[in-house]
């Protein structure tokens, strides 16, 4: 399955703006009542503001022209009350939408992060971390800005426009049609250019993600850049990403601002039409000065929101472009789903491969018709040249990937029928480059191990001693309370592997995979680890991947992995001969 977000089929996950909004509103369904309440306040606010021009026109024709100033004061007081009420309703709807926007941001980021937890390893192999971070932080914030700041203005502007349009047509139909005619051109212009604006913004958001990914990748590998004195390479890569972001930002900026001058021009044209046509009607006795003042106010109330919509519409397009990028993640489904229970298969091995084939994509098969079995309590070694498929085989054992063809059996059952919790409890995996979280040694040792989550330091130290791991803990100056900062040089790679080793052993797995787990450990510590492995429960099956043959000399069985095939190597000398030749023997 293609999980590359930048290479998804153009038709895949494609959705209309209506579908996108529908899915977005479904995601924040808990806010529906507050959205309706905010809408009520918007309608009230717009209605109050629309009453004002009509009262002003009535006051001019009825009281100012006849010099009845008492009526002017009365209607002035009424207008003051109306505008005070409009201010209150405006404040309430702003407060409501601000809260909705922040809660939506919280919900969205949770939804994305939870979805990322469900996706397989292959997804993260195909997508850069910096781009994913940009989607979680930047793209969700674009949506939050639209919801908390722009949405209510957007709806309020539409309601005000509709109300003003109704008043324009009801006061004088002919003048109303003339006043609204430029709006038809605005609608045509907006509909025609909106897809282009959205495309420009989507391109800009993608470049922001690319820039974030480039920075993250360069900083993570800065030590290598310094070691090889290739700051020029770092600068060149960053400059290319920055230039791309600059170009797309310019394009998005031009697209986002193209509506404002056009809307302004047509709005001014509409007001000029109203003024000239209104004077003509007054001259022929069909209109009054008060009505013309009201009419110009309503024309302003129609086109001013339209000008605001020019800016708000671009904000909407940015938000929708961000939502498209977020939706790409939310619509993905893992290809490592748990299967329904199947009848017990006939296998007395702890783990078995039956005619297993595997490829990361359709272009090249990494493993071809592999058959092997691991019995309980034995030690197995996987050897072979670099790139031969050893780590791939181990990844299939741990179900980081599924076989393209064939079956992997665990305890006589298809491994796909086990839940993630049950499978990880049975299978421990010590990676060649283990990852540690910022925290203490204790927190990293107990990561994912609910069995000991409530134990005290003293109790945990005793558990570690009983598991023959005390000598490893003693290597750390402050023991369990030794601080670890993820990604820093405060702890060596060898020490990280020791922590990963303790973390895996304390889970008491039935099968423990060591993928070059001693590659960065000194000879003395390696011997210490060997002694600990020998003291492990005889029920635990060990699968060791190593290039140093002294680490596998006590293995019960050795498998040679190369050119997509896995075969028994026999004795250690035979295995060495196969490794030196770098090819399989019949």
pLDDT digits (tens, 9 = 90+) for 335-381: 888 888 766 667 788 999 999 999 887 667 889 889 999 999 898 98
Domain annotation covers residue 305: yes
- 152 and 92 in one domain? yes
pLDDT 10s digits, 275-312:
887 787 777 777 777 777 777 777 877 777 777 776 67
Same-domain check for residues 144 and 35? yes
Q: Are residues 369 and 318 in the same domain?
A: no
8 lies in some domain: no
Whether 234 and 377 share a structural domain = no
Residue 190 lies in a domain: yes
Selected residue with higher pLDDT from 522 and 211:
211
* Domain extent at residue 52: 17-328
Question: Residue 11 pLDDT more than 60?
Answer: no
319 plus 381 within the same structural domain: no
pLDDT tens digits, one per residue of 227-243 = 667 677 778 878 888 88
Report DSSP letters for 55-95, one per residue: HHHHHIIIIITTT-HHHHHHHHHHHHHHHHHHHHHHHHHHH
> Domain for residue 165, yes or no?
yes
Query: What is the helix (H) or strand (E) element at residue 26, kind and residue range?
Result: helix 17-27
Q: Kindly state the DSSP code that residue 345 receives in the 8-state scheme.
A: P
Instruction: Say if 11 falls within a structural domain.
Output: no
Average pLDDT of every residue of the chain: 80
Residue 461 and residue 506 in one domain: yes
Q: Do 472 and 383 share a structural domain?
A: yes
Q: Is the pLDDT of residue 173 over 60?
A: yes
Same domain, 457 and 530: yes
In the predicted model, is pLDDT for residue 29 greater than 50?
yes
Bigger pLDDT: 121 or 21? 121
Task: State residue 71's pLDDT score.
Answer: 78
Scored b (16 or more CB within 10 A) or e, 217-256 reads bbeeeeeebeeeeeeeebeebeeebbebbeebeebbeebb
Any bridge partners for residue 410, and if so which? Answer: 351, 413
pLDDT at 10 over 50: no
Of 421, 322, 334, give the one whose Cα is nearest residue 123.
Answer: 334
Distance (Å, whole) CA 189 – CA 378: 74
pLDDT at 276: 83
Looking up residue 369, the CATH number of its domain turns out to be 3.40.50.300
Last residue of a domain, one of 275, 294, 328: 328
Same domain, 50 and 175: yes
- CA dist 116 and 120 (Å) reads 8
Q: Token digits for 555?
A: 């293995």
Kindly report, residue by residue over 548-566, the tens digit of the pLDDT.
666 677 788 888 888 888 8
> Could you give the CA distance from residue 526 to residue 344 in angstroms, rounded to a whole number?
40
Residue 356's pLDDT is 92
Q: How many domains does the chain have?
A: 2
pLDDT surpasses 50 at 586:
no
Residue 49 lies in a domain: yes
- The per-residue DSSP string of 407-471 comes to EEEETTEEGGGS-HHHHHHHEEEE-SS----SEEHHHHHTTT-GGGTT--HHHHHHHHHHTT-HH
377 and 435 both lie in a single domain? yes
What is the per-residue pLDDT for 584?
46
Q: Is 537 inside a domain boundary?
A: yes
What predicted TM-score, i.e. pTM, was given to this entire model?
0.66
CB neighbours of residue 300 within 10 Å: 16
Last residue of a domain, one of 295, 328, 361: 328
Tell me what pLDDT residue 236 has: 81
Confidence of residue 14 (pLDDT cuts 50, 70, 90): low
CATH number of the domain that residue 113 is part of: 1.20.1560.10
Task: Tell me what pLDDT residue 176 has.
Answer: 80
| Selected residue with higher pLDDT from 224 and 454 | 454
Report the C-alpha gap between 461 and 338 in whole angstroms.
36
- pLDDT at residue 445 is higher than 80: yes
User: 3-state class of 545 per DSSP?
Assistant: strand
Average pLDDT of span 84-96? 86
H helix and E strand count, the chain: 20, 12
Section 166-178 average pLDDT: 81
Residues 304 and 363 in one domain: no
Q: Does 344 fall in a domain?
A: no
Q: Give the pLDDT score at 15.
A: 58
* Whether 299 and 386 share a structural domain: no
What mean pLDDT comes out for the span 466-480?
84
């Amino acid at each position: 399955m293609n999980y590359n977000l930048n290479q998804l089929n153009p038709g895949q996950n494609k959705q209309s703006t209506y579908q996108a909004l529908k899915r977005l509103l479904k995601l924040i369904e808990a806010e529906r009542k507050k959205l309706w309440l905010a809408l009520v306040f918007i309608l009230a606010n717009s209605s109050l503001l629309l009453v004002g021009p009509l009262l002003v026109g009535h006051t001019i024709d009825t009281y100012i022209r006849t010099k009845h100033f008492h009526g002017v004061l009365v209607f002035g007081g009424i207008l003051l009350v109306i505008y005070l009420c409009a201010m209150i309703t405006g404040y309430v709807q702003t407060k409501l939408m601000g809260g909705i926007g922040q809660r939506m941001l919280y919900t969205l980021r949770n939804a994305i992060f939870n979805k990322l937890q469900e996706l397989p390893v292959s997804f993260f192999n195909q997508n850069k971390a910096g781009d994913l971070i940009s989607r979680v932080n930047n793209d969700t914030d674009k949506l939050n800005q639209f919801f908390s700041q722009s949405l209510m203005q957007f709806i309020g502007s539409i309601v005000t426009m509709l109300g003003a349009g109704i008043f324009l047509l009801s006061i004088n139909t002919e003048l109303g049609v003339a006043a609204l005619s430029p709006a038809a051109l605005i609608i045509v212009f907006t509909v025609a250019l909106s897809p282009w604006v959205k495309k420009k913004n989507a391109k800009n958001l993608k470049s922001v993600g690319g820039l974030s990914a480039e920075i993250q990748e360069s900083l993570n590998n800065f030590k290598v850049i310094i070691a090889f004195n290739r700051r020029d390479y770092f600068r060149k890569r960053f400059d290319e990403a920055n230039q791309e972001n600059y170009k797309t930002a310019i394009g998005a900026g031009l697209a986002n601002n193209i509506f404002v001058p056009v809307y302004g021009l047509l709005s001014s044209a509409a007001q000029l039409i109203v003024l000239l046509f209104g004077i003509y009607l007054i001259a022929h006795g069909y209109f009054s000065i008060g009505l013309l003042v009201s009419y110009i106010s309503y024309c302003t109330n129609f086109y001013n929101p339209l000008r605001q919509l020019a800016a708000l519409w671009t904000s909407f397009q940015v938000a929708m472009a961000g939502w498209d990028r977020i939706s790409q993640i939310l619509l993905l489904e893992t290809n490592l789903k748990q299967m329904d229970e199947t009848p017990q298969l006939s296998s007395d091995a702890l783990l078995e491969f039956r005619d297993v084939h595997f490829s990361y994509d359709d272009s090249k098969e990494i493993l071809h018709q592999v058959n092997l079995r691991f019995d309980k309590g034995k030690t197995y070694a996987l050897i072979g040249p670099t790139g031969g498929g050893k780590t791939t085989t181990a990844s299939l054992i741990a179900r980081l990937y599924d076989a393209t063809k064939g079956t992997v059996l665990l305890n006589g059952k298809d491994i796909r029928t086990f839940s993630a919790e049950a499978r990880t409890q049975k299978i421990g995996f010590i990676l060649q480059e283990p990852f540690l979280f910022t925290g203490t040694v204790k927190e990293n040792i107990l990561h994912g191990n609910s069995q000991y989550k409530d134990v005290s330091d003293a109790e945990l130290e005793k558990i570690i001693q009983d598991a023959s791991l005390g000598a490893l803990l003693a290597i750390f100056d402050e023991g369990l309370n030794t601080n670890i900062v993820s990604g820093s040089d405060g702890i060596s790679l060898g020490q990280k592997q020791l922590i990963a080793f303790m973390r895996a052993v304390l889970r008491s797995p039935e099968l423990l995979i060591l993928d070059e787990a001693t590659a960065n450990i000194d000879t003395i510590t390696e011997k210490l680890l060997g002694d600990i492995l020998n003291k492990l429960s005889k029920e635990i099956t060990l699968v060791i991947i190593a290039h140093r043959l002294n680490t596998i000399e006590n293995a019960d069985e050795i498998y040679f992995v190369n050119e997509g095939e896995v075969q028994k190597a026999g004795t250690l000398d035979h295995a060495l001969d196969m490794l030196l030749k770098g090819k399989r023997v019949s």
